[in-house]
Structure 1
Amino acid sequence: MKIEDSFKFSDAYAIVQEKIGSNDSIKKYLDTFRSYAPSQFAIIKIGGESIEDPSSLKEIAISLSCLSSLGLYPIVIHGANPQIDAAYRTMGILKPEKINGIRPTTKEGLRAVEHGFADAHGKLYTAICDNDGKVKSMHNEHIFRAKKLIIPGKKLGYVGEVTGIDREPIEDAISEGKIPLSWTLGYSDDGQVYNINSDHTLPYLVDEFGPRKLILVNERGGVLDENGQIISEIDIAGIEYLQKTSVVNGGMGIKTSIAADIKRKHPDIMIEVAASKYLLHELFTDEGHGTLIRR
């Protein structure tokens, strides 16, 4: 039986059509996505803030469940910033000040990081399953190989940088008809766990899988201008200007810098920043609702 003949396919198709309002657009993009190798469809990065908000989590879960029912299996990674902050508070550990968006991580703090990632991962995984999504957790697969990150003059502790990616578990999940879902803890050859900023894993994932789309789910809804309005399209020069004038900084500064670097290296990839409620719009319409990052 073809996936198009299944009841879940028709349900998912109807939900997508209701959200975006264009049958022709859905058909066009489904045909396009199916022309790619399955692992080249999309990488979706979901922020921990989106997972923590119940309405946003529901939107994400429904969207991902629809995609899996349509036979599309994006590689999904997630952050856990608010969940890690909560773990620090619960465990009575002093939260460190970030250095260029990086959270210095002591041995004690690493426990809080692991707890936070597990909390975010469990919430997202459960929400997808509760909405009949087909998903496979990568939490035991050690997807990101890592080593200690060294920045001269900075004490970062158990913060890592990616040295490689184990693609086999991700490919296996997709072959099984499931969305691979991973946190971004890193693991050294000798078994040491490292804290890695989720955004910093994206260049390595893009290099490894060559996706046609990269979507950053963020509840701001996109990159904002000096008036707090979403910028529909921005190029690398525009990103550099907003950073230079401090309009974009902090977490969004990291995201846009990484996105710009990816776009320089992979000019054909579509990179978008959008709110959870517009995830399907970013995939199945030309205009989208967030920020498209151009070269």
Structure 2
Amino acid sequence: MKSNEWLHGFRHSSPYINAHRGRTVVLTIGGDAIAHSNLINIIHDIALLSSLGIRLVVAFGARPQIQTRLDAIGAESVFHRGLRVTPESQLLPVLEAIGGLRAHLESQLSMGLVNSPMHNARIRVSSGNYVTARPVGVLDGIDFGHTGRVRRVDVAGIEKLLELGHIVLLPPLGYSPTGDAFNLSYEDVGSQVAVALQAEKLIMFTENQGLPEDDGSLIRELTAKQATERLSAGKVEGHDGDLLKAACDACVKGVRRAHIISYVQDGALLEELFTRDGSGTLVSGDNYEQIRQARVEDIGGILGLIQPLEEQGILVRRSREMLETEISRYVVAERDGTIVGCAALHHYPEEGAGELSCFVVDQAYRRAGRGDDILAMIEKLARGHGIERLFALTTQTEHWFRERGFRPSSVQELPGPKLASYNVERKSKVFVKPLV
């Protein structure tokens, strides 16, 4: 590694650090991950995220540890519909296995050794009865006993702890008003808690790098609809199938992003959060909101967005005919069938440049990161076209662009065709962002 590579990476991570500070992220860690040698590095990374001001909830599982405990006493394990049947006679060893893991994780998160990444971290970890559960009951003639499902999440209680800077640790247990304890799926706990808290992200650990394509390559991104189609086709099964179902459920119910990453790969958590490409598979909710390529039928919605700004002189006027001709250059943000944002990318291949134009987000939907999502989509498309620098002309939003890596430039740096059509009377300022 070159001596200054760490500096370059650190500087380029700052936008992601700022974007995540103060946001709620739910992590799910299965028993296999807890038993893996890389757990200590995951613990260190969790401590780092906490120190950066990210509000963390960790839901953990204990399946292999429960199995080991039951095997030790010669108890038979019964599974049905992917769930462990937990009779009364097995509840105590199940609770013992889960309790042991909880204590182990609390001890790991409490480390503060000199010369370790957690020196002086002083992390506070809190756990408790924040999940109310109900019994699965009898299915297909099988009584699931003390196996349950999430019924309700104590959002107010968890929020108070997060406000105090605590990491909230949630075991795969839920309790009922009758005083019963239930063995829960940790994927279900993580997904339902993320929905209840309206978390920014749900991050789920698996053994592989993420979800594989049919040819074995990594799937980088899936919409909830695409994920559901893969599940229905039987392309994702077993533990990865359980994770993907939980991710889809969370995204459809309002969690913005779910990530499936490796617990084996050192640094996968940090790479997923603080780099452009990430390390695993990203799942996003498309039924509720999506950023996508514009279509002809979107023109009415785009016109509705831009016309008020054209009338104020903030945007250059565009006719319906012009939009119809250039619609392939546009992306839109759609929420429940309504266009709430748009932007266009104009390509100047001879100069390796692209122009970000007609960039609008409905005023009622600003301050929720949609502008950043649209910009990320434009940058992704630009890189796909081999564009090396992206420029924007603005009269009103100088600071927004500067905060996202654009630097002031001169009119003379514009590509030739754009320079020739530059409107001197508008006095638009030019900003450029390198993409390489």
Alignment of 1:1-295 (within 5 A): 22-34=9-21, 38=22, 40-54=23-37, 56-96=38-78, 98-130=79-111, 131-132=118-119, 133=121, 134-138=123-127, 141-153=128-140, 154-266=142-254, 269-276=256-263, 277=266, 278-294=268-284, 295=286
Matches of 2:45 and 2:209 in 1, distance apart?
16
How many residues align structurally? 269
Is the alpha carbon distance of 1:151 and 1:25 closer, same or farther for their aligned partners in structure 2, counting shifts above 3 Å? farther
Q: C-alpha distance in 2, partners of 1:136/1:101?
A: 31
Name the CA shift for 1:151/1:243 in 2 (closer, same or farther; >3 Å).
farther
In the TM superposition, what is the alpha-carbon distance from 1:279 to its structure 2 partner? 0.5
The CA deviation at 1:228 is: 3.8
Cα deviation code 1:170-228 (max 9, x no counterpart): 22332332211111201000210001101112342123211111110122221123344
* Higher mean displacement: 44-53 or 65-74: 65-74
3-state SS of paired residue (1:217):
strand
Tell me, in whole angstroms, the C-alpha distance in 1 between the residues paired with 2:188 and 2:75: 25
Q: Identify the range of structure 1 (239-248 vs 192-201) with the bigger mean alpha-carbon deviation.
A: 239-248
Distance 1:68 1:82 in 2: 28
Which shifted more, 269-278 or 218-227?
A: 218-227
Cα distance in 2, alignment partners of residues 74 and 238 from structure 1: 28
Deviation, structure 1 residue 252:
1.5
**Contact 2:27–2:190 under 8 Å retained in 1:** no
Question: CA 1:41 to 1:246, structure 2 compared with 1: closer, same or farther past 3 Å?
Answer: same
Q: Take 1:21 and 1:273, find their aligned partners in 2: how far apart are those partners?
A: 26
Distance 2:249 2:196 in 1: 15
* Distance in 2 of aligned mates of 1:239 and 1:208: 22
Q: Distance in 2 between matches of 1:194 and 1:105?
A: 8
| Structure number with bigger Rg | 2
- Give me the whole-angstrom Cα distance separating, in 1, the residues matched to 2:191 and 2:33: 22
- In structure 2, give the amino acid aligned to 1:249: E
Structure 1 CA distance for aligned equivalents of residues 103 and 81 of structure 2: 28
Q: CA deviation at 1:257?
A: 1.5
Q: Separation in 1 of the partners of 2:8 and 2:231?
A: 36
Q: Which residue of 1 aligns with 2:318?
A: none
**Cα distance change, pair 237–208 in 1 and its aligned pair in 2 (3 A):** closer
| Mapped contact 1:135–1:181 kept (Cα < 8 A) | no
1:151 shift after superposition = 4.8
SS of 2:84's partner is coil
Amino-acid identity (%): 25
Residue ranges of structure 2 left out of the alignment (5+ in a row): 112-117, 287-436
Between Structure 1 and Structure 2, the one with more strand by share is: 2
**SS, match of residue 110 in structure 2:** helix
Counterpart Cα distance in 1 of 2:156 and 2:229 = 40
| Residue segments in structure 1 that go unaligned for 5+ positions in a row | 1-16
Query: Matched residues in 2 for 1:85 and 1:269: separation?
Result: 34
Aligned residue type for 2:204: L
How far apart are 1:21 and its partner, in Å? 6.0
Could you tell me which amino acid in structure 2 is paired with residue 86 of structure 1?
A: T
Matched-pair contact (CA < 8 Å) for 2:131–2:150? yes
The structure carrying a bigger helix percent of its residues is 1
Q: CA deviation at 1:243?
A: 2.6
Q: Provide the TM-score with structure 1 as the length reference.
A: 0.83
Counterpart AA for 1:262:
A
SS of the aligned residue for 1:74 comes to strand
- Mapped to 2, the partners of 1:103 and 1:264 lie a distance apart of 26
- 1:215 partner SS: strand
State the alpha-carbon separation in 1 of the partners of residues 271 and 8 from structure 2.
Answer: 10
